Chain A
Amino acid sequence: EAGVTQFPSHSVIEKGQTVTLRCDPISGHDNLYWYRRVMGKEIKFLLHFVKESKQDESGMPNNRFLAERTGGTYSTLKVQPAELEDSGVYFCASSPWTGRDYNEQFFGPGTRLTVL
């Protein structure tokens, strides 16, 4: 079974440009999460989808970030316009819906974003 995949693995852009990150969850996983790690710091929660609905977007830094999950399958995270402080590693995770409080999250390899 394929794991969570993310594209691209690396992205280098200039300040002011737009970047779109993609996440493909494990097939059948209703829950999809985005996290970000700024260099050397903690991995921070950005948002959580259940199918195509945003369940919790409390971690989104500002309105330059837009996450979508059309059709409840893959998700995109767009940063427009990118700023220097957006540099970091963006992780995606997915989990099945089991009806319990906790569902194990499976992480992708991350996308390293560098804004120059």
Chain B
Amino acid sequence: AQSVSQHNHHVILSEAASLELGCNYSYGGTVNLFWYVQYPGQHLQLLLKYFSGDPLVKGIKGFEAEFIKSKFSFNLRKPSVQWSDTAEYFCAVNAGDNFNKFYFGSGTKLNVKP
């Protein structure tokens, strides 16, 4: 079965620091990759997605992620975080056998100190 691993459960950064959240998945076939974000008190929202093409994808609010197929990774990055980026971030995958079924990681809580 597919699985998604997020290495950091809780990250604390100061404003303007750079962010990188790790995500690895296990599936040998075609995958679509996503990062979702849940701000305090809000719904899960799509941050960015990768289907094919350029492995460096840009999302909303200055976030980007890089798909490295050889490493089964899809790490999320932001060069300079803001206090408003405080949220929980989820990596997710859906796979070629069922594109309607998401596999999520366990989430990373990001706390940005002003």
Q: Chain B residues near A104: list those with CB within 8 A.
A: 46, 49
CA distance A3 to B94 in the complex (A): 23
Q: Chain A residues near B98: list those with CB within 8 A.
A: 56
Assuming the contacts A4-B43, A42-B4, A102-B32, asked whether A31 and B100 have C-beta atoms less than 8 A apart, the reply is: yes
Q: How far is the CB of A34 from chain B (nearest CB, A)?
A: 12
CA distance A4 to B43 in the complex (A): 9
Name the CB-closest residue of B to A5: B43
Point out the residue from B42, B90, B105, B106 that lies within 8 Å of A109, measured CB to CB.
Answer: B42
A–B pairs, 30, beta carbons within 8 Å: A4-B43, A33-B100, A35-B102, A35-B104, A40-B9, A42-B104, A42-B105, A42-B106, A43-B90, A43-B92, A43-B102, A43-B107, A44-B104, A45-B101, A45-B102, A48-B101, A55-B100, A56-B100, A56-B101, A58-B101, A95-B100, A102-B51, A104-B46, A104-B49, A105-B102, A106-B43, A107-B43, A108-B43, A109-B42, A110-B43
